[in-house]
Amino acid sequence: MTGGPGAASARATTSSPADEHPGIATPVRPDPARARDPTGGGAGARAYRLGVDDPDGTWREQRQRAVRAHAAAADARRAAEHAEAAELVAAFVAEATRRGLPADRLTALGYDGRSRYRTRLRGWYLDRARTRAVGVDGRFYLLAVPSGLRARLLGAEPAPSAAPLVVGEGGRDGESIPLQTLLNRRLADGDDDRR
């Protein structure tokens, strides 16, 4: 015979309600973390906390209004910059015409970087690479087009672009120059930049 009164007493003190009453589940101790966050974390937790902390959606609505206001301000700033740049381009065309600076028949560079295609545009190149120009129509052009047989046979038709106040900003080469400086330089170069 094993055990004794002491062993029986130990078994009695360590028994669970399930031992005394078969069929009753042993209670599970609650997880403190889950008690604080019943969703278990992740996106659901954020949504839960938002719902608890902001039951009427006031914070969410204020946040959305702030995002929309920021986007609207950025759009307005870009529109103002483009308008100012357009005025600079128009002033350049007027001055180039007054000085009798001859306009070139513009060509466009293919995306492959090797082929050039004729266009119907006339204007003034702004850089040695001949990838940026101002047309006699007073518009700013990026002279880069898809390469292909159609462009070779029929010519290219670059669309005008919104002139930037800073040319090359955000480009891969990291080089940028104010548009005003580029236009003044082109006027100062006269015919020298056409060859």
Quick one: which of 175, 186, 85 has its CA closest to 127? Answer: 186
Mean pLDDT calculated for residue range 43-60: 62
Is residue 185 in a domain? yes
Is residue 170 in a domain? yes
Q: What pLDDT does 61 receive? A: 85
Q: What pLDDT does 172 receive? A: 59
Which carries the bigger pLDDT value, residue 99 or residue 38?
99
Q: How far apart are CA 185 and CA 190, in angstroms?
A: 9
**What are the tens digits of pLDDT across the range 63-113?**
888 999 889 888 888 888 999 999 999 999 999 999 999 999 999 999 999
Quick one: which of 183, 169, 153 has its CA closest to 90? Answer: 183
CA pseudo-torsion sign 151, 155, 159, 163: positive
Q: Is the pLDDT of residue 47 over 70?
A: no
Is residue 17 in a domain? no
3-state secondary structure (DSSP) of residue 118? strand
Is residue 44 in a domain? no
Is residue 22 in a domain? no
Q: Which amino acid is at 164?
A: P
Is residue 38 in a domain? no
| Structural domain count, the chain | 1
Least confident residue range of 1-15, 109-123, 125-139, 181-195: 1-15
Is residue 150 in a domain? yes
Q: What pLDDT does 107 receive? A: 97
Cβ atoms 128, 171 nearer than 8 A: no
The residue range of the domain holding 155 is 80-194
Q: What is the model's pTM?
A: 0.63
Mean pLDDT calculated for residue range 2-20: 47
Cβ atoms 84, 72 nearer than 8 A: no
Is residue 146 in a domain? yes
Q: How far apart are CA 88 and CA 179, in angstroms?
A: 8
